[in-house]
Amino acid sequence: MSEAPKGLKKGLTNYGDQGFSLFLRKAFIKGAGYTDDALDRPVIGITNTGSSFNPCHGNMPQLIEAVRRGIMLAGGLPMDFPTISVHESFSAPTSMYLRNLMSMDTEEMVRAQPMDAVVLIGGCDKTVPAQLMGAASAGIPAIQLITGSMLTGSHRSERVGACTDCRRYWGKFRAEEIGDEEIADVNNQLVASVGTCSVMGTASTMACVAEALGMTVPGGASPPAVTADRIRIAEQTGAQAVQLARQGLTIDKILTPAAFENALRVLLAIGGSTNGIVHLTAIAGRMGIDIDLAGLDRMGTQTPVLVDLKPSGQHYMEDFHKAGGMATLLRELKPLLRLQALTVTGRTLGEEIERFGPGFAQDVVRPLGHPIYPQGGLAVLRGNLAPGGAVIKQSAADPALMEHEGRAVVFENSEDLANRIDSDALDVAADDILVLKNIGPKGAPGMPEAGYIPIPRKLAKAGVKDIVRVSDGRMSGTAFGTIVLHVTPEAAVGGPLAHVRSGDRIRLSVKNREIALLVSDEELARRAKENPVTEPTAERGYRKLFLQAVTQADKGVDFDFLRAPRSVGKAPE
């Protein structure tokens, strides 16, 4: 059997004459000044996701330069190419709406262009998941490079960073504790450099998860964006990509059920973003691996939160890096990890942990026996309000509200919320439960991070800091509160959430993993008949594709046609 084509010989345009296709391709690329010697080397693609609209990727030029250096030192030929870039604050209607598009762009450009391995450079929340989803489907050797976190700033001598502190200060402003001048001052300090959010939000979560999956070089998750450590990681990543290409170590050998189990374990132990579950489900789905929510919840009961980072704890990503980053965490978690899982170095996770050597005194990652929070950061809830499941970040919730029954105060959609939440006429009390419908995958569309429903202004002014909130949307990993998210099925497809009315009673019991609407099945059926739900549609374009193909939160909000055609396993196994 002839060997599969490599390097520039891959994926030739079909003119019916392969020799001519290669001749033509080389003629074009030589227009950029390449020699035959360069063109005979392993070709390593580098995704360039730099954009003026994406300051989280603002170090892209330096990273690409370092990756290219690493590739050339290892004897490869670097070829960077653009894909779309998605930033949280510059992606209407929501970045999640564009994640699958970015994954398709990544997959198809990796497939279309001749490369033996690819370096994926991403950082802002949706980019790393999108790249891993795309690369998983493309199937070639791939390695993730994280852009790195931003530095923290200082506001009147108080250390601040995006975006837990953004929310905290905005909360103070809403409660009229601070005025226009101070809120303008703090706005200058929250993002002190390029790079991703500095707390354990979704970006940091996905960075740690990518390393736990074995998809980055060791230590790849934590160096801040503007540090020499980050540039060194970029150089190492480039060099490792050449080794991956030479060994033919394709992504399916890394992204196994054991790797996803390790990623879920880390997600729980870092008190990571609830978005991590959705993204891991989508990435695993591309490999034909199902994430078992019940299994994840069981893992949560055995996995304490060890990392003391905001929003669950005190510190920032740069502190996590100084404390040894993932090496420190993985060393602690070792008894709970699947150590035989292979990583992009060609070594197993267990071997990498051995190579880390002994730890040192630090106060950011706690020992297993002295955790920040005794259980994993996330809990999976079920009940008649969420037959397909819902999640709560218990480590960021108010313990006093985790066993709570209250009266529902319902908002039909984001617009209804915006119109009424600050009204003095709103009938709401601190022990009520705020319910927001129609912010699920199809509802908004794109499942925006609107699940962090603001405290009604009149309650905020009275000093209320938390209230139980329930929705079919997501929330930013930087947010905190007793907030039930990802209610599945969503209201827009006729889930029970669609039929909740103000005045109904809702019971939340994190202990029993329950979210229950205290309304009879008969009454719910009557309401469904009285007010049937019409699913949203669109006439053309990406929105039409999105609304036709997007799956619910328990399937990762991926497009149904992008999932692997067959299931090959589940995680945890």
CA 168 vs CA 87, 163, 186, 196, 448: distances in Å: 21, 9, 11, 18, 20
Residue among 115 and 124 whose Cβ is closer to ligand FES:
124
Residue 297 contacts ligand FES per CB under 6 A: no
Is residue 417 classed exposed, middle or buried when 0-12, 13-18 and 19+ CB atoms within 10 A define those classes?
buried
* Binding positions for ligand FES, 17-76, rule CB under 6 A: 56
Residue 203 contacts ligand FES per CB under 6 A: yes
DSSP 49: -
From the list 5, 493, 561, the residue with the least C-alpha distance to 286 is 561
Residue among 94 and 488 whose Cβ is closer to ligand FES:
94
Distance CA 474, CA 277 (A): 11
43-48 and 117-122 as β-strands: parallel, antiparallel, unpaired? parallel
Alpha helices in 213-348 (DSSP H): 228-247, 257-269, 275-286, 293-302, 317-322, 326-333
Residue among 121 and 296 whose Cβ is closer to ligand FES:
121
Residue 88 contacts ligand FES per CB under 6 A: yes
Beta bridge partners of 471: 436
Residue among 197 and 468 whose Cβ is closer to ligand FES:
197
Phi, psi dihedrals of residue 498, rounded to the nearest 5°: -60, -25
Q: How far is the CB of 219 from ligand FES (least distance, A)?
A: 20
DSSP three-state, residue 138 = helix
Residue 449 contacts ligand FES per CB under 6 A: no
Residue among 54 and 243 whose Cβ is closer to ligand FES:
54
Q: How far is the CB of 78 from ligand FES (least distance, A)?
A: 25
Among 197, 378, 391, 483, binds ligand FES (CB under 6 A): 197
Q: How far is the CB of 484 from ligand FES (least distance, A)?
A: 23
Residue among 56 and 266 whose Cβ is closer to ligand FES:
56
Stretch that binds ligand FES, among 197-205, 217-225, 374-382, 383-391 (CB under 6 A): 197-205
Q: How far is the CB of 124 from ligand FES (least distance, A)?
A: 3
Measured in whole angstroms, the distance separating CA 367 from the mean position of its chain's CA atoms is 26
Q: How far is the CB of 201 from ligand FES (least distance, A)?
A: 6
Q: How far is the CB of 300 from ligand FES (least distance, A)?
A: 25
Q: How far is the CB of 544 from ligand FES (least distance, A)?
A: 28
Residue 166 contacts ligand FES per CB under 6 A: no
Rama region for 338: left / alpha / beta (φ>0; ψ in -120 to 50; rest): beta
Question: With contacts defined by CB under 6 A, how many residues of the chain interact with ligand FES?
Answer: 9
**Crossing angle (nearest 10°) for helices 202-212 and 257-269:** 140
Q: How far is the CB of 125 from ligand FES (least distance, A)?
A: 5
Rama region for 246: left / alpha / beta (φ>0; ψ in -120 to 50; rest): alpha
ω into residue 166 within 30 of 0, thus cis? Answer: no
Residue among 197 and 491 whose Cβ is closer to ligand FES:
197
* Binding positions for ligand FES, 453-492, rule CB under 6 A: none
Among 41, 68, 87, 331, binds ligand FES (CB under 6 A): 87
Residue among 68 and 87 whose Cβ is closer to ligand FES:
87
* Binding positions for ligand FES, 118-137, rule CB under 6 A: 124-125
Residue 309 contacts ligand FES per CB under 6 A: no
Q: How far is the CB of 25 from ligand FES (least distance, A)?
A: 37
Measured in whole angstroms, the distance separating CA 470 from the mean position of its chain's CA atoms is 21
- CA angle (203 as vertex; 198, 206 as ends), nearest 5: 130
- CA angle (536 as vertex; 531, 541 as ends), nearest 5: 170
Residue among 148 and 473 whose Cβ is closer to ligand FES:
148
Distance CA 362, CA 383 (A): 41
Q: How far is the CB of 470 from ligand FES (least distance, A)?
A: 25
DSSP three-state, residue 291 = strand
Distance CA 186, CA 451 (A): 24
Distance CA 129, CA 136 (A): 10
Q: How far is the CB of 210 from ligand FES (least distance, A)?
A: 14
Stretch that binds ligand FES, among 193-201, 326-334, 387-395, 556-564 (CB under 6 A): 193-201
Residue 196 contacts ligand FES per CB under 6 A: yes
Residue among 203 and 234 whose Cβ is closer to ligand FES:
203
Which parts of this chain interact with ligand FES (CB under 6 A)? 56, 87-88, 124-125, 196-197, 201, 203
